[in-house]
Amino acid sequence: MDWNALEQKWIKAWNEEKLFESTPDGRKKFFVTFPYPYMNGYSHLGHFYTLMRVEAFARYKRLRGFNVLFPQGWHCTGSPIEAAAQRIREKEEKQWKIMRDMGFPDKEIEKFGKPEHWVEYFPVEYRKDYERMGLAIDFRRSFITTSLNPRYDKFIQWQFRKLKEKGYVAKGRHAVVWCPKENTPVGDHARVEGEGETPQEFVLLKFRFDDAFLIAATLRPETVFGQTNLWVGPDITYVKADVDGETWIISEPAVKKLQEQDHAVRVVGKLLGKDLLGKKAVAPMIDRDIPILPASFCNPDKGTGIVTSVPSDAPDDYIGLRDLQRDKVLQQRHGLDAAMVDAVKPIPIIVTKEYGDQAAVKVVEDMKIKSQHDRAKLDEAKHLVYKAGFYAGTMGVAAGKHAGKPVKDVKDVIRDELVKKKQATLFYELTGKVVCRCLTQSVVKIVDNQWFVTYGDKKWKKITHQALNKLTLYPEKARQQFDYVLDWLNDWACTREYGLGTKLPWDQNWVIESLSDSTLYMAFYTISHLLEHVPVDHINDALFDFVFLGLGNVPSVPHASEMRKEFLYWYPVDFRNSGKDLIQNHLAFYIFTHTAIFHKSHWPAGIGVNGWVTVDGEKMSKSKGNFLLLRDLPPKFGVDPSRLTILSGGESLDDPNWDSELARTVSNKLESMHEFCVEHHDKGRADVKAIDKWFVAKLGQLAKECTDAMELTLFRTAIQKGLFELQSVLKWYLKRCGIPNKKAINQYITTQILLLAPFTPFICEETWKAIGKEGFVTNAAWPRGKEAKPEDLASEDVVRLVLDDVRQVLNIVKKEKPARITLIVADTWKHDLFKLLSQHKTIKNPGELIRTVMATALRQHGEEVTKILPKVMNKLPDALLTAEIEHAALKDALDFFEKEFNCPVVVQKESESQEPKAKQALPGKPAIVVA
RNA sequence: GCGGAGGUAACGAAGCGGUCAAACGUGCCGGAUUCAGGAUCCGGUGGCUUAGGCCUUCGCAGGUUCGAAUCCUGCCCUCCGCACCA
């Protein structure tokens, strides 16, 4: 089949008819959206799956009579485009390679040095791809984001002014990864080293030391009660510095870090670690004198280069202490008093079931760690101790008023107490080394004019929960995750100093960050095609207030009333679908923002989430070479087969798998489906046989099951029912019916085309037309189906079962050409028994069931009943036939059996049969004798 | 570690207390048709079996039950997220 020609033909036809340009009318509406993709590369298979879920749902709803709106915008906000452009300009190898891999010649790549070029280039390509895939999108409403689109820009400004009015935008302090040379934050994309590293909160403990403080950084403030000593590196140079009016002793590199974190630091002197050894300092919280001892693991680049020692709960400290206590030479070299060193003993502070009250000691001894140089083992030990201590431990008596409480509950309390007493202060350190693109090592900076959207606001959370409770989730089981996320979300830094976007209206130094500008824009779709025709200077807050909130009089702006009408008609969004990874940010933000700005009736009505695409069982990645772009699909597989394949790959939250093999074979399947329909339409006999009724009942049943699946966006199941099962039912029918019944086969054909239409619209249009239907199948009416009654299917079930069973028998006896086959229908008393059993389905105990049966006239077959009952009690057919009907059904199928087995077939009743096997017969399962 | 979703035959994936050796699809094997087929059709695809049966399987180990892939407990493994990034 020439898929390409077919696709072009129908895309053209749809476009000419403006099929997907949706306008408000009297019908019920259905509004779907796919989050606008980011314009820094071509659309790929991952998009395609999510997109197809939206598309299939949209087309299905259209068939169900809804006026469907499916718009699509293009996202350009944020730093990746700008960063990539910069890398192009800087001729960075990696970025150039990415562009070459996308198929751009070097001359073209140059152009991508300008961020604007990305924004001009990719939306066009995306539209081509999406149109090519047959997506039912109203492209009149497409737009790009950022200030490059002044209308959208104004909308985002309006949105942020609204949020601020409501008190949901606030200024605050924020720790960021910072380049001290360029004086900018260093995002992941701008790093040559250290992707994924983030600022981590440390507590700086202050140890009184004469008129100064020794400063030690810790991640575990709750362990202050077990401090026994301090560690310094004997050969490390420390500085004495004036910090915010106090004198601190810290390592040299710590000075710069503190300065970036809002501390006034002035170095006043230097000293070596060994100068401090043997002296004592007063430990915070416990107010005790503790000695200063040497350790090899002190690192001037980490924290302050001074470490507080808690040997009970820090393996490093314990082993450091043990090493030192055993090493008299070392003690002497540093002039340490042996008695003092030996007097240092771990102090139990945290109790865990696994490790008792001195976890570090226990773990180090258990693991037989030899010295502080055994890094790998020590790290493992640290991990074990921390895990047990923090999550499962409780504070011991040494913790005073905190004794008996879970560690994870009091950690922050103790930290705050220390800070309040001015015995500690907070400090941020990177989780790992980060190097900026300018090759400078990054630090943590506290920015105090950062803007936040206050998702941490309790009242706002409560309202958002209400919105969540009201909306439909596809699938429902994602709800728990949503609920959790709404509670867990905290204030979100919503502005950047760098990147494309909309400037924060009241603070032009900031650009609104990409996840923050994409929370309300679905409303923009309802008016974007009209707003296009409004001069930019007419667009202001009053207009948006009117259109989206119904505030004020009709502004004297072209289309103002019409825009209001569009918004009221289309909103809320009925289905917004994305990958499950977006639950914790985008989708949550989306609900939040809607509740903040829009009326309740415009809050999201439905959200879908889905898994991550794999390709032929493997994760899709560029390095594996299995990275499929949308544009690769049509030439390789055809659009319809691709659409069907991607949705067959999985559903719900599972990761769907793209099966290339299926894509190839399904193409043939669709083609023969088409040929069959064309060939058989409106042909056949007029008289109605039992098998025709069965077929029609099955068609109704499958259409019903398919419909149920569609409603839940279980598209894999829908395809299963609507294509594969329907085909196998058809096959059986054709095998059984002789010449098909005209009405039945016509019903099959329309059912088949319509059930497939949301998935494979091209071939369906073609078939639809070929069988002489008017108009587009895209606009036809969906067959909702009808549940079949089991008794309508039961006769045929017997025939199918007999066919299978005879085959099995023939297989076992290895007889290929039987001389004759006898089918024996069970006695009426067995049918009575089955009927009785089906009335007592609730009785699950065989003994009780036998007793029940024996209480009836069936007692006269007592012996046999006892024998067969346990075997059959759980295998009753869906519907029971009488012996007569079963007999008739088999007789009716004699021709069929004889043809299938190529031998004479006879049907008998058990009572008239001479065959010894006759008594094996059961209702719905005749005895079989092959000769 | 936490929150969520999962682990089923060669693979993808249904099933979620009894009709389960387990739908459907792909792959594979055999047959038919064909000059030919990556086309179509038919049959097979855990093991044993000359009568529709039996045996072993649904991450691992226990348990509940007359009965467990399905329920409970513990453990192991995979995926998503744990943030200021799209």
* pLDDT > 80? residue A149: yes
Among all protein residues, pick the one whose CA is nearest to the C1' atom of B27.
Answer: A661
Q: Are strands A265-272 and A229-232 parallel, antiparallel or unpaired?
A: unpaired
* pLDDT > 70? residue A636: yes
* pLDDT > 90? residue A440: no
What is the per-residue pLDDT for A528?
Answer: 97
Q: Which of A72, A76, A81, A78 is nearest to A35 (CA)?
A: A72
Gap between the Cα atoms of A217 and A239, Å rounded: 16
Among all protein residues, pick the one whose CA is nearest to the C1' atom of B17.
Answer: A844
CA of A724 and C1' of B39: distance in angstroms?
19
pTM: 0.84
Q: Are A435 and A190 in contact (CB under 8 A)?
A: no
In order of A135, A224, A655, A880, A907, the CA distances from A615 in angstroms are: 22, 52, 10, 46, 52
Q: Which nucleotide lies closest to A38 by the C1' atom and the CA atom?
A: B86
- Please report how many Cα atoms fall inside a 13 Å half-sphere around the Cα of residue A700, on the Cβ side: 14
Gap between the Cα atoms of A701 and A786, Å rounded: 5
CA of A510 and C1' of B83: distance in angstroms?
20
CB atoms within 10 A of CB A700: 19
* pLDDT > 90? residue A213: yes
Among chain A residues 390 through 419, which have CB within 7 angstroms of nucleic chain B? Answer: 391
Nucleotides of B under 7 A from a protein CB: 1-6, 11-14, 18-19, 23-27, 38-44, 49-52, 66-67, 79-86
Among chain A residues 304 through 363, which have CB within 7 angstroms of nucleic chain B? Answer: none
What is the per-residue pLDDT for A196?
Answer: 62
Q: What is the pLDDT of residues A452-464, one digit of tens each?
A: 999 989 899 999 9
Asked whether strand B has any atom less than 7 Å from the CB of A515, the reply is yes
What is the per-residue pLDDT for A849?
Answer: 78
* pLDDT > 80? residue A439: no
What is the per-residue pLDDT for A858?
Answer: 85
Among all protein residues, pick the one whose CA is nearest to the C1' atom of B86.
Answer: A38
Q: Which nucleotide lies closest to A175 by the C1' atom and the CA atom?
A: B84
Q: Which residues pair with A669 in a beta bridge?
A: none
CA of A519 and C1' of B1: distance in angstroms?
31
* pLDDT > 70? residue A492: yes
Instruction: At A333, list the tokens.
Output: 């070299």
Q: What is the pLDDT of residues A565-590, one digit of tens each?
A: 999 999 999 999 998 889 989 999 99
H-assigned helices in A649-687: 660-680
Instruction: Measure the N-to-C terminal CA separation of chain A; round to a whole number of Å.
Output: 48
Q: How confident is the model at residue A490 (pLDDT cuts 50, 70, 90)?
A: confident
CA of A384 and C1' of B80: distance in angstroms?
25
CA of A645 and C1' of B12: distance in angstroms?
11
pLDDT average, residue stretch A255-269: 89
Among A79-88, A337-346, A736-745, which is the least confidently predicted range?
A79-88
Gap between the Cα atoms of A415 and A431, Å rounded: 20
- Of all residues in chain A, the percent with pLDDT exceeding 90 is 59
pLDDT average, residue stretch A96-104: 91
Q: Are A723 and A676 in contact (CB under 8 A)?
A: no
CB atoms within 10 A of CB A752: 25
Which of the pair, A544 or A221, is modelled with greater confidence?
A544
Asked whether strand B has any atom less than 7 Å from the CB of A716, the reply is yes
* pLDDT > 90? residue A73: yes
Asked whether strand B has any atom less than 7 Å from the CB of A476, the reply is no
CA of A352 and C1' of B61: distance in angstroms?
26
Asked whether strand B has any atom less than 7 Å from the CB of A713, the reply is no
pLDDT average, residue stretch A504-509: 92
CA of A655 and C1' of B6: distance in angstroms?
10
Q: Which nucleotide lies closest to A723 by the C1' atom and the CA atom?
A: B24
Asked whether strand B has any atom less than 7 Å from the CB of A793, the reply is no
Q: Which of A495, A502, A493, A546 is nearest to A523 (CA)?
A: A546
In order of A33, A185, A187, A196, A665, the CA distances from A496 in angstroms are: 27, 9, 10, 18, 49
Q: What is the pLDDT of residues A174-204, one digit of tens each?
A: 788 888 777 777 776 667 776 667 777 889 9
What is the per-residue pLDDT for A859?
Answer: 85
Which of the pair, A383 or A275, is modelled with greater confidence?
A275
pLDDT average, residue stretch A792-807: 87
Asked whether strand B has any atom less than 7 Å from the CB of A811, the reply is yes
What is the per-residue pLDDT for A365?
Answer: 83
Asked whether strand B has any atom less than 7 Å from the CB of A875, the reply is yes
pLDDT average, residue stretch A707-721: 93
What is the per-residue pLDDT for A272?
Answer: 94
* pLDDT > 90? residue A390: no
Asked whether strand B has any atom less than 7 Å from the CB of A506, the reply is no
Reduced to 3 states (helix: H, G, I; strand: E, B; else coil), residue A446 is strand
CA of A704 and C1' of B25: distance in angstroms?
21
Among chain A residues 143 through 182, which have CB within 7 angstroms of nucleic chain B? Answer: 176-177
What is the per-residue pLDDT for A190?
Answer: 67
Q: What is the pLDDT of residues A339-366, one digit of tens each?
A: 999 999 999 998 876 678 888 888 888 7
pLDDT average, residue stretch A35-45: 93
Q: Which nucleotide lies closest to A877 by the C1' atom and the CA atom?
A: B19
Among chain A residues 365 through 394, which have CB within 7 angstroms of nucleic chain B? Answer: 387, 391
CA of A898 and C1' of B73: distance in angstroms?
56
* pLDDT > 90? residue A380: no
CA of A567 and C1' of B69: distance in angstroms?
50
Asked whether strand B has any atom less than 7 Å from the CB of A247, the reply is no
- Please report how many Cα atoms fall inside a 13 Å half-sphere around the Cα of residue A276, on the Cβ side: 35
Gap between the Cα atoms of A900 and A742, Å rounded: 24
- Cis peptide, bond prior to residue A475, ω within 30 of zero: yes
Asked whether strand B has any atom less than 7 Å from the CB of A75, the reply is yes
User: What is the complex's ipTM, to 2 decimals?
Assistant: 0.92
Task: Write the single-letter amino acid at A69.
Answer: L
H-assigned helices in A64-202: 79-89, 93-101, 106-111, 115-132, 150-165
Among chain A residues 580 through 619, which have CB within 7 angstroms of nucleic chain B? Answer: 580-582, 584-586, 611-612, 617
Q: How confident is the model at residue A139 (pLDDT cuts 50, 70, 90)?
A: very high
Q: Which residues pair with A255 in a beta bridge?
A: none
Asked whether strand B has any atom less than 7 Å from the CB of A929, the reply is yes
CA of A617 and C1' of B25: distance in angstroms?
15
Mean pLDDT of the residues in chain A:
90
Among A186-195, A591-600, A611-620, A706-715, which is the least confidently predicted range?
A186-195
CA of A812 and C1' of B56: distance in angstroms?
20
CA of A617 and C1' of B7: distance in angstroms?
15
* pLDDT > 90? residue A141: yes
Q: Which residues pair with A906 in a beta bridge?
A: A822
* pLDDT > 80? residue A391: no
CA of A3 and C1' of B28: distance in angstroms?
29
pLDDT average, residue stretch A678-693: 92
pLDDT average, residue stretch A777-791: 91
